[in-house]
Amino acid sequence: MKFGKPELHELPVPDIVSLGAYADQLQREAEARGVLLPPPIRLQIGEPNFRTPEHIRQAASESITSEVQTYGPASGWPWLRELLVEKIARVNGYTVQPDNIAISMGGTGGILSSLLATLNPGDEVLIPDPCWPIYLPQLQIAGAIPVTYPLDPANEWLPVIEQLEQQVTPRTRMLLINSPGNPTGAVFPRQVMAELLEFARRHDLYLLSDECYDQLIFEGEHVSPASLLSREEFEAGRFIGIYTFSKTYAMTGWRIGYVVAGTRLTKTIVDVLNASLTNISTPIQRAAAAALTGPQDCVLEMRESYRRRRDLVVKQLKEFGRYSYTPHGAFYTLINVSGRHGESRRGRQFALDLISASNVTVTPGHGFGTISDEYVRISLAASEEELALGVQAICQLADR
């Protein structure tokens, strides 16, 4: 029997999917017994619970009605890339030209295309622990080897340069960073970002900066490492920036993001995009253009909603004695569910027990890395009522 590459075929089903399915199964079993349960409180899904704003949806509809839907450039239509030049200057703090930008199928597609454009089989990539779990299969597809570096839970989940130095080998080719971070919500301060950039320089590494939550900052500032580079060094190709419309504009299902890099490196990434996706459809790109040129109050409103939810969760965790840190960006927080007296408790078993006991779904920390094994991640992309009930259930179960 043929089933493709074993290392990909044997990847486990992500907990976000399997635990949601388990909650649905328990719901069906209860209904079969004649028991009516309320819908599960789903705190495991990292997806905005807002509808895409009307002016964005309308732009796509108008394109379908009025434009001939043809192939487009693999790098994206020039009119969208020109708009992104202004956005990058305004939000990310550095200057580019349209030829530095390539439109991708979401931030996910941008990351994979960048990995395929830069890595050879056997190359090592430094990735954070904990991290967004899709980095791992993406590296496997590229034939690269992930090497984790720890984020410090005692210091708001920031990286430690001295520990990074211990992970470097002659095969290390790339440093991958993510700020604001998933699953931690950490925002790397300017000094930390400068140290990471200098580390990449010292070891002659690509620096892939996943900035998908760049406009979801609650405190402090978003610092892109590219803003610390001269134009000459940026064009030399060390930096790769990954961005998306998904989180800022509640456009997860639209699947549009973009990659920013030096001109020659962007050309290589576009070659990968051309060979894999050909182009992103014109209506989706028109929607993205409308997101950039239309009213930005929707961004502020969504961000302030996440901030209020973050504050509610932090307050509740403090009341239950479960507070450990404050996330400053994105829309996640990790909650330590270990015993009061230091007893070890695996996050996945806790998540299963929580569904059975309270019909609340969370994401076990082990799916993000070894350091977060005794944590669960919750998403702030849920209503305040759901978060209040969910966090209460988490804390009560953790204290048993």
| Residue pLDDT, tens place only, 44-65 | 988 899 999 999 999 999 999 9
Average pLDDT over residues 82-89: 98
- For residue 18, what pLDDT band results from cuts at 50, 70 and 90? confident
Q: Does the predicted TM-score (pTM) go above 0.75?
A: yes
pLDDT in tens, 287-328: 999 999 999 999 999 999 999 999 999 999 999 999 999 999
Question: In this prediction, what percent of the chain has a pLDDT beyond 70?
Answer: 100
Least confident of 15-19, 128-132, 289-293: 15-19
Question: In this prediction, what percent of the chain has a pLDDT beyond 90?
Answer: 86
Query: 366: Cβ–Cβ under 8 A, 6 or more apart, which residues?
Result: 346, 347, 348, 372, 373
- For residue 241, what pLDDT band results from cuts at 50, 70 and 90? very high
Task: Name the residue with higher pLDDT: 287 or 348.
Answer: 287
Average pLDDT over residues 20-46: 86
The beta strands (E) that lie in the chain are given as: 41-42, 101-104, 124-129, 145-152, 158-159, 172-178, 206-210, 239-244, 257-261, 332-336, 360-361, 363-364, 375-379
- For residue 22, what pLDDT band results from cuts at 50, 70 and 90? confident
The pLDDT of residue 24 is above 90: no
DSSP 220: S
The pLDDT of residue 144 is above 90: yes
User: Measured between alpha carbons, how far is 167 from 47 in angstroms, rounded to an integer?
Assistant: 33
Q: Note the pLDDT of residue 142.
A: 97
Structure tokens at 144: 């690269």
Task: Name the residue with higher pLDDT: 28 or 164.
Answer: 164
Please say whether the beta carbons of 372 and 379 come within 8 A. Answer: no
The pLDDT of residue 263 is above 80: yes
Structure tokens at 362: 């969370």
Residue 326's nearest CA partner among 192, 157, 160, 159 is 157
User: Measured between alpha carbons, how far is 42 from 54 in angstroms, rounded to an integer?
Assistant: 26
User: Measured between alpha carbons, how far is 91 from 114 in angstroms, rounded to an integer?
Assistant: 22
The pLDDT of residue 342 is above 80: no
Q: Note the pLDDT of residue 223.
A: 98
Average pLDDT over residues 239-258: 98
Q: Note the pLDDT of residue 39.
A: 85
Q: Note the pLDDT of residue 301.
A: 97
Q: Map residue 336 onto helix, strand or coil.
A: strand
Please say whether the beta carbons of 382 and 389 come within 8 A. Answer: no
Q: Which residue has the tokens 């590459």?
A: 5
Q: Note the pLDDT of residue 62.
A: 98
Q: Is the peptide bond before 180 cis (omega within 30 degrees of 0)?
A: yes
Please say whether the beta carbons of 107 and 210 come within 8 A. Answer: yes
Total number of residues shown for the chain = 400
Enumerate domains of the chain plus CATH numbers: 6-51+298-398 (3.90.1150.10), 54-293 (3.40.640.10)
- Mean confidence (pLDDT) of the chain: 95
Task: Name the residue with higher pLDDT: 49 or 14.
Answer: 49
The pLDDT of residue 344 is above 80: no
Least confident of 107-111, 266-270, 363-367: 363-367
Q: Is the peptide bond before 189 cis (omega within 30 degrees of 0)?
A: no
- For residue 97, what pLDDT band results from cuts at 50, 70 and 90? very high
User: Measured between alpha carbons, how far is 109 from 179 in angstroms, rounded to an integer?
Assistant: 18
Cβ atoms within 10 A of the Cβ of 197, count? 23
Structure tokens at 394: 């988490």
The pLDDT of residue 5 is above 90: no
User: Measured between alpha carbons, how far is 384 from 305 in angstroms, rounded to an integer?
Assistant: 9
The rounded Cα 315 to chain-centroid distance in angstroms is 25
